[in-house]
Amino acid sequence: MTNTRRQLGRWWGWLVLTTVALACLVSVRYYAAADLDSSPLLLLFRGAMLSSHFTLLSLLLLLPVLLLLLLLSRPKLVIPVGVLYVALILAALLIDTQVYHLYRFHINAGVMNLLFGGAARETFVFPPDMYLEAALIFLGIVAVVAVCAGLAWRYVRKGPPRRSIRGPAILFVTVATLVFHGVHIWADAVANKSIVRQTEVLPFRYAATAKRMLRRLGFEVRSGSTLVAASHKGSGLAYPLRPLTCEASQSTPNVIFIVVDSWRFDAIGPKITPNLHKFAQRAVRFENHFSGGNATRIGIFSLFYGIPGTYWHRILAERRRPVFIEELLKRDYEIAVLRSAPLYSPEFDRTIFAGLPNLRMRSEGHRPYEWDRSLTNDFRAFLEQRDPERPFFAFLFYDSPHSFDMPPDYPVPFKPNGKRVNYLELHRLKDVRPFYNRYLNSVHYVDSLMGEALELIDSHGLLESSIVLITGDHGQEFNDTKKGYWGHSSNFTRYQTGVPFMLYAPDLEPRVLRHRTSHFDVVPTILQRYFACSSPVEDYSVGRSLFREGGRDVLLMSEYADFAIVQPQLIAVVREHGLDLVDANYSELEGASLAPHVISIALEHKRRFYGIGPLDRE
């Protein structure tokens, strides 16, 4: 090995140490958001964990740089490449900390699917100054890494030191690794949540467990939650449990779903949504309504299928349409699917509308407000061109509030109206009012388009033969709990899961209902009331009629990574380590527990459509 290659090898070791140190520094942001126990002993455990985790991760990630220097021992090439490579790693880690700050999960398969699924530009709409700020931050990272790498290269060029730090460094990492995994094995065995939760903050985490071995050796090991165990079970899909039995009808109503992305339960009223407020006087208004989750994928899934979002991946794998759509097709409905954002992200074209011909995959325009305008125009064209001899189903899914968007010249009623939404600044935003006003103004803009759509329905004389449902896919939080939660997909409070809901039909008396309802109840209501389906609701849904009071004290909601059992005053979030029990404001509950019947209901809902049969008595 040449002297230059040896020097580069030593330099690579210092680059690894630099990466570990900077990664540990960046990771402090995870714990700032997580608000975990920080007693002295836990801080020691956290230090051992971070040292072990990021050393192993850095060694693996920097192997390409090591291979490069072995193949090409040219410092002027290897060092700049190494600096840029490490800067990219740290930038990705920093982005992940920001995602965790906002949503309390890491960049995962669901996020990557949105990024690389062909709809990233439509899904993530950011102001130009946010990109500029991100670029400056990245340049700062490059500068820090370059300085560290330059100092390391200058140091190794002086020749081997009299006393190498290689041995002490290896010893330190070895001890840290043994302490980290050893303590975690013990904590996992005795169900010590304060320790186990420390590991869940980190990306690409791995912490050793040994419950089976400990049991074989005769040690007492606490069993994990039945809910956690069930979250990893599954088999073939059995949805519906039996084919539906529905009677034919000569007067089949048109069905129109109007849905608004990120529409929270209280963003409605005469000033925010004047057109809907006027229409609501003719409809049944449900004022305590919940989505099936806190994200678009799950919200729309629960609306159409009437089953928990935990079935999403199996439904997607089998491309199984909901029984509601199947019944529409049996009755020869003309179907218009009009989504503002691309239909394939999430994969509604391969789930709810799988196999339907000539699907409208995306809208015209470059901004959400333009896509919403395009959607409304296309609905107008559909009504003018449809076959009047056939009933129709129309799905209008507006997007502007998701991106806080509206036309530049739109006359905003709520002031001051925030000029931009910089997600890099949300966690330190002191005055939420301009930001919240911008959201309300975007809802007001969409209300103008929904008012236009409703006027089109009325002007074509369709209200006497149509069901019109208006709701949101999920809510939107503005740090309402004062715990640093913004947007959605991060918790299961009413701010992120509660949505407006109103139902119009010619036979319904306008009124306000305040009992608890959910998206799970929509399909059973329509199929029973308007399609004369006599099949037991349990065969195809976990819901019940919207008009039936009671029986909804347990809602099984889900998101990208976890699921939750949501009760009026208690939320149980099911994670890998077990249950996190919080109140309606997402404050942790000490000493609380789930009643056995609540666990039984949740498990039954989660297992019913896998055809597993009765619960295992383990």
What are the distances in angstroms from CA 417 to CA 414, 435, 438, 441?
A: 6, 7, 5, 8
**Burial of 287 per CB tally in 10 Å (0-12, 13-18, 19+):** middle
| Residue 311 contacts residue 609 (beta carbons within 8 Å) | yes
Helix axes 323-330, 296-305, angle to 10 degrees: 50
Is residue 613 over pLDDT 50? no
Which of 260, 258, 560, 561 is closest to 402 using CA atoms? Answer: 260
Element (H, E) at 512: strand 511-513
Please tell me what DSSP assigns to residue 367: S
Q: Give the pLDDT mean for 249-260.
A: 91
User: In this prediction, what percent of the chain has a pLDDT beyond 90?
Assistant: 62
Distance CA(329)–CA(209), nearest Å, equals: 50
The residue assigned the tokens 């990208």 is 560
Distance CA(415)–CA(238), nearest Å, equals: 51
pLDDT in tens, 359-392: 999 999 999 999 999 999 999 999 999 999 999 9
Average pLDDT, the chain: 88
107 phi/psi in degrees, rounded to 5: -60, 115
Distance CA(612)–CA(547), nearest Å, equals: 31
| Residue 304 contacts residue 322 (beta carbons within 8 Å) | yes
Distance CA(396)–CA(471), nearest Å, equals: 11
| Residue 265 contacts residue 500 (beta carbons within 8 Å) | yes
Residues 6+ apart with CB under 8 A from 275: 447, 448, 450, 451, 454
The model's pTM: 0.75
Is residue 112 over pLDDT 60? no
pLDDT in tens, 393-439: 999 999 999 999 999 999 999 999 988 777 667 766 668 899 999 99
**pLDDT at residue number 208:** 84
pLDDT band at 212 (very low <50, low <70, confident <90, very high): confident
